[in-house]
Structure 1
Amino acid sequence: MVNNRTTIDIELKEDPKNLQEVVVNVGYSTMRKSDLTGSVSSVKADAFENSVPTTLDQALQGRVAGMSITQNSGVPGGGSSIQIRGVNSINSSNEPIYVVDGVIINGRTGDNDRNAIASINPNDIESIEVLKDASAAAIYGAQGANGVILITMKKGKVGKPVINFNTKVGLQELPRRVDVMNLREYAQHHNDYSDVLGYGRRLDFSRPEALGEGTDWQKTMFRVAPMQTYDLSLRGGMQNSNYSLSVGHLNQNGIIYGSGYKRTTVRLSVDNSIGSQLRMGATINVSQDKQNTAVSSWSVLGNALFQTPAIPVYNADGTFGGPTSEFDANNLGFSNPLAIATLNTRDRENVIARGNIY
Structure 2
Amino acid sequence: VVGYGTTKKSDITGAVTKLTSKDFNKGANTSADQLIAGKVSGVQVIQNSGEPGGGISVNVRGMGSINAGSSPLYVIDGFPIDNGSTVSGTGANFTGMRTSRNPLNSINPNDIESIEVLKDASATAIYGSRGANGVVLITTKAGKVGGIKVDYDVYFGVQNVMRDITLLNPQEYQTVMNELIQAGAGTPSQTVGNFNGGTNWLSNMYERNASLQNHNLSLSGGDEVNKFYASLNYSDQNGILINSSNRRYTARLNLEHNKNNFKTGFNLTTSFVKDNYVANGMDLNERAGIIYAAVAYDPTLPIYTNTGAYTLSPDMNIDNPLAIANGKTSIANLYRTLGTAYGELTFLKDFKAKLNIGADISNQRRDTYVDRQTIEGRANGGIASILTGVDNSFLSEFTVSYKKRWKIHDINAVAGVTAQQFGDRDQNSQGNGFSSDATRTDNMG
Say yes or no: does 1:252 pair with 2:237.
yes
Structure 1 length-normalised TM: 0.85
- Structure 1 residues 247 and 204: CA distance shift in structure 2, 3 A: same
Of 121, 129, 142, the match for 1:134: 121
Per-residue displacement from partner, 1:261-295 (whole Å, max 9, x unpaired)? 111111100000122x0000100011111122223
Name the CA distance, whole Å, in 1 between partners of 2:127 and 2:65.
15
Is the Cα–Cα contact under 8 Å of residues 188 and 205 in structure 1 kept in the other structure? no
Name the CA distance, whole Å, in 1 between partners of 2:137 and 2:67.
20
Name the CA distance, whole Å, in 1 between partners of 2:85 and 2:214.
24
**Structure 2 residue aligned with 1:11:** none
**Structure 1 residue aligned with 2:57:** 81
Name the CA distance, whole Å, in 1 between partners of 2:202 and 2:318.
14
Name the CA distance, whole Å, in 2 between partners of 1:51 and 1:162.
23
Is the Cα–Cα contact under 8 Å of residues 136 and 145 in structure 1 kept in the other structure? no
Is the Cα–Cα contact under 8 Å of residues 242 and 272 in structure 1 kept in the other structure? yes
Is the Cα–Cα contact under 8 Å of residues 91 and 143 in structure 1 kept in the other structure? no
SS of the residue 1:244 aligns to: strand
Name the CA distance, whole Å, in 2 between partners of 1:106 and 1:250.
23
SS of the residue 1:356 aligns to: strand
- Structure 1 residues 203 and 138: CA distance shift in structure 2, 3 A: closer
Say yes or no: does 1:200 pair with 2:202.
no
**Structure 2 residue aligned with 1:100:** 76
Is the Cα–Cα contact under 8 Å of residues 294 and 347 in structure 1 kept in the other structure? no
Per-residue displacement from partner, 1:192-250 (whole Å, max 9, x unpaired)? 121112622667626xxxx6652011111112210111101111111211001101111
Measure how far apart 1:109 and its partner are.
4.9
Is the Cα–Cα contact under 8 Å of residues 119 and 288 in structure 1 kept in the other structure? yes
**Structure 2 residue aligned with 1:226:** 211
Partner letter of residue 59 of structure 2?
Answer: Q
Matches within 5 A, 1:1-358: 25-48=1-24, 50-89=26-65, 92-109=68-85, 114-197=101-184, 199-200=187-188, 205=193, 214-224=198-208, 225-275=210-260, 277-297=261-281, 299-323=289-313, 325=314, 329=315, 332-358=316-342
Measure how far apart 1:27 and its partner are.
2.6
**Structure 1 residue aligned with 2:380:** none
Name the CA distance, whole Å, in 2 between partners of 1:231 and 1:273.
28
Name the CA distance, whole Å, in 2 between partners of 1:347 and 1:234.
33
Aligned residues: 323
Measure how far apart 1:106 and its partner are.
2.7
The structure showing larger relative contact order (alpha-carbon pairs under 8 Å, at least 6 residues apart) is 1
Measure how far apart 1:105 and its partner are.
1.2
Measure how far apart 1:335 and its partner are.
1.3
Following superposition, which runs of at least 4 residues in structure 1 exceed 4 angstroms of deviation? Answer: 109-113, 201-204
Measure how far apart 1:143 and its partner are.
0.4
**Structure 2 residue aligned with 1:8:** none
Name the CA distance, whole Å, in 1 between partners of 2:157 and 2:219.
25
- Structure 1 residues 216 and 91: CA distance shift in structure 2, 3 A: closer
* Alignment root-mean-square deviation, CA: 2.0
Partner letter of residue 244 of structure 1?
Answer: Y
Is the Cα–Cα contact under 8 Å of residues 181 and 191 in structure 2 kept in the other structure? no
**Unpaired runs of at least 5, structure 1:** 1-24
Name the CA distance, whole Å, in 2 between partners of 1:145 and 1:221.
41
Name the CA distance, whole Å, in 2 between partners of 1:237 and 1:100.
23
Identity %: 37
Measure how far apart 1:75 and its partner are.
1.5
SS of the residue 2:294 aligns to: helix
Name the CA distance, whole Å, in 2 between partners of 1:90 and 1:227.
36
- Structure 1 residues 280 and 352: CA distance shift in structure 2, 3 A: same
Larger Rg: 1
Is the Cα–Cα contact under 8 Å of residues 84 and 132 in structure 1 kept in the other structure? yes
Measure how far apart 1:49 and its partner are.
5.8
Measure how far apart 1:45 and its partner are.
1.5
SS of the residue 2:213 aligns to: strand
Q: In proportion to residue count, which structure has more helix?
A: 1
Is the Cα–Cα contact under 8 Å of residues 25 and 35 in structure 2 kept in the other structure? no
- Structure 1 residues 95 and 228: CA distance shift in structure 2, 3 A: same
Partner letter of residue 179 of structure 1?
Answer: T
SS of the residue 2:202 aligns to: helix
SS of the residue 1:205 aligns to: coil
**Unpaired runs of at least 5, structure 2:** 92-98, 282-287, 343-445
Is the Cα–Cα contact under 8 Å of residues 226 and 258 in structure 2 kept in the other structure? yes
Name the CA distance, whole Å, in 2 between partners of 1:91 and 1:240.
50
Name the CA distance, whole Å, in 1 between partners of 2:277 and 2:309.
24
Name the CA distance, whole Å, in 2 between partners of 1:307 and 1:125.
45
Name the CA distance, whole Å, in 2 between partners of 1:153 and 1:175.
35
Name the CA distance, whole Å, in 1 between partners of 2:70 and 2:122.
17
- Structure 1 residues 91 and 105: CA distance shift in structure 2, 3 A: farther
- Structure 1 residues 321 and 269: CA distance shift in structure 2, 3 A: same
